[in-house]
A = this chain, B = another copy of it.
């Protein structure tokens, strides 16, 4: 009886430790889906159209055989590949002080609807943040919200991973659009 009562804490402990170890061992982590960091930004894309070089933050650098570099391709911009260096702001005003830059590319990859794919980074170098976040994913533009992956980060966002939800906050013809990005990080180091 004395042996039994003395062993039980150890047994319980072993069971608890074993349970914790097992759940991580097979990749099925007992992760909460509660973010460890949440950030909201806007970024602003002004596409070069042959006449707006000084204001433009983006340019078509690849296009399909029927396209060109100063007009979006018809239909649905399909085949246009764009590189960009867009200001990031905290609100939806293009003229607010930028808090960083969104740099990378997007390209339109659908023939029958507006759809794009994005590979880009957020670069911060301010009093609030120093570092980068790297993103990749599909952007089915006509959906109200689209989720892409935060695939990594550096500096203040060292080793970050998460999900970013894109929303088209505004667009004006083929030249300007503004995206709202709700970033939720689930891995923070």
Contact = CB atoms under 8 A, between A and B. Distances in A.
Most chain-B Cβ atoms within 10 A of its Cβ — which of A59, A109, A151, A159?
Answer: A109
Interface residues of A, number: 87
Contact of A83 (B14, B35, B107): B107
Contacts of A28: 36, 188
A111 B34 CA distance: 39
Interface of A: 5-10, 12-14, 16-17, 20-21, 24-36, 48, 50, 56, 59-65, 67-70, 78-81, 83-85, 103-105, 107-111, 115, 117, 119-121, 123, 131-132, 134, 136-138, 140, 147-155, 158-159, 161-163, 185-189
Given A13-B13, A24-B29, A85-B115, 5 more contacts: A20-B20, A21-B30, A131-B147, A132-B138, A158-B163
